Amino acid sequence: MDDKPKTPDNESLEGETLGTSSASELVDAPVASQTESEFESQDQPPVQKETPAKRENIFKRLAHSRNLYLVIYVVLFLAASAVVFAAIKWGNNPSQKTPKTGSSLTSSDLAQLSGSTTVVGDAKQTLDIQSAAVFEGQVLMRGDLNVAGSLKVGSSLSLPSITVGNGSFSQLQVNDTLSVSGNGTVQGQLSVQKNLSVAGSGSFGSLSASQLSVSSLQFTGDLAIAKHITPTGGVPGKTNGSALGSGGSASVGGSDTAGTVTINTGGSPPAGCFVTVNFAQKFNTTPHVVISPSNSSAASLDYYTNRTNTSFSLCTVSAPAATTTYLFDYIAFD
């Protein structure tokens, strides 16, 4: 009988557990395992593929795991995030958008635009810019400029000539000449700092002016004047008549429109004309001359006038008193 301990074979080691192994087997097991490992490294493949039974075992353990719902939630969240990312990427892709009718700018066209002076396309083509555009330098339009929307100008606008069919301006300043060939309507107040020249007729519903100078003024309605009428113009001339007598004199003060005639008779004045008043500016027609005596001596005379469009004469049918002063006021108008 041999006392040397027997080395257990591979089959007996695979079928036993640590709980049923003897003390001698526990001592000799590492040696056997090492010998078996060296043997397997020489005669068998280093790694064996996982069998379907083991994979099935993994899924079963995952199914019975307490974190199953958490895993499902994470998977659904990742799937939804991928769908949203793909939708955003698709929407931002310019190549996926429906192009407008016409041709887009190619790389060569954009390269031409970067030059100092380039020509893109021809007169039969249309350059359609989808996005906003900012021009740092000057922009020159050789043809017409059509603006479908509103036009906003942040700074001053210089136009040698402008034709506006229908326009609205909050403030419009013209430094040289404003010419309106059609009708013009001013809804608010019109302030003219200098002269206002109207070649044709003027119609005013209400006109307020500190001073109004016109060459000819025609009223089709009543004329209401809140203050006085002050006739202006050159002082008329005069020619003395025979009714002044010896050493008599006459003077005229005022204008062609209104004034005062002062008569100082001399010795033995006869009947006739005292003075002839010569207008500074002749009237278009023979004016209406109204004479009014301004003192009692003038009121006692039998006076009358001779008038033309250039002058009028103040006369008496009876001999006036000698060395007497006669005052007459006059008004002359067409």
CA-to-CA distance for 284 and 69, rounded, in angstroms? Answer: 114
pLDDT category of residue 103 using cuts at 50, 70 and 90: low
pLDDT at residue 67 is higher than 80: no
Q: Tell whether 324 is covered by a domain.
A: yes
Q: Would you place residue 101 in the very low, low, confident or very high pLDDT band (cuts 50, 70, 90)?
A: low
User: Does any domain span residue 306?
Assistant: yes
Instruction: Please check whether residue 4 lies inside any domain of the structure.
Output: no
pLDDT band for position 142 (50/70/90)? confident
Quickly count: other Cβ atoms within 10 Å of residue 104's Cβ.
Answer: 10
Of 23-32, 236-245, 246-255, 263-272, minimum mean pLDDT range: 23-32
Residue ranges making up the domain that contains 326: 237-333
10 against 81, higher pLDDT: 81
Q: What is the DSSP string of 7-53?
A: PP-HHHHHH--GGG--HHHHHHHHHHHHHHHHHHHHHS-SSPPPPHH
324 pLDDT higher than 80:
yes
Q: pLDDT confidence of 312, banded at 50, 70, 90?
A: very high
**pLDDT at residue 10, as a whole number:** 43
H or E element at residue 314? strand 311-316
Residue 69 lies in a domain: no
Residue 1 domain flag? no
pLDDT at position 18: 38
CATH number, domain of 299, equals 2.60.40
Query: pLDDT class for 261, splitting at 50, 70, 90?
Result: very high
Highest mean pLDDT: which range of 45-54, 155-164, 183-192, 201-210:
183-192
> Does residue 166 register a pLDDT over 80?
no
Residue 44 forms part of a structural domain: no
Query: Rounded mean pLDDT of 103-110?
Result: 69
Domains: count for the chain: 1
Average pLDDT over residues 205-219: 75
Q: Distance between CA atoms of 114 and 136, rounded to whole angstroms?
A: 13
124 domain-assigned? no
Which segment of 34-38, 46-50, 234-238 scores lowest on mean pLDDT? 34-38
Strand segments, DSSP code E, in 190-294 are 237-240, 249-254, 258-264, 272-278, 288-293
Percentage, residues of the chain above pLDDT 70: 71
Question: Across-strand partners of 278?
Answer: 237, 311
The rounded distance, in Å, linking the Cα atoms of 311 and 279 is 5
Widest distance between CA atoms in the chain: 206
* Contact (Cβ atoms closer than 8 angstroms) between residue 330 and residue 261: yes
The chain-wide mean pLDDT, for the chain, equals 76
In a domain, 303, yes or no: yes
Between the ranges 3-17, 80-94, 154-168, 306-320, where is the mean pLDDT highest?
A: 306-320
Q: What is the pLDDT of residue 8?
A: 45
- Report residue 186's pLDDT band, with 50, 70 and 90 as the boundaries: confident
Residue 63 is predicted with a pLDDT of 58
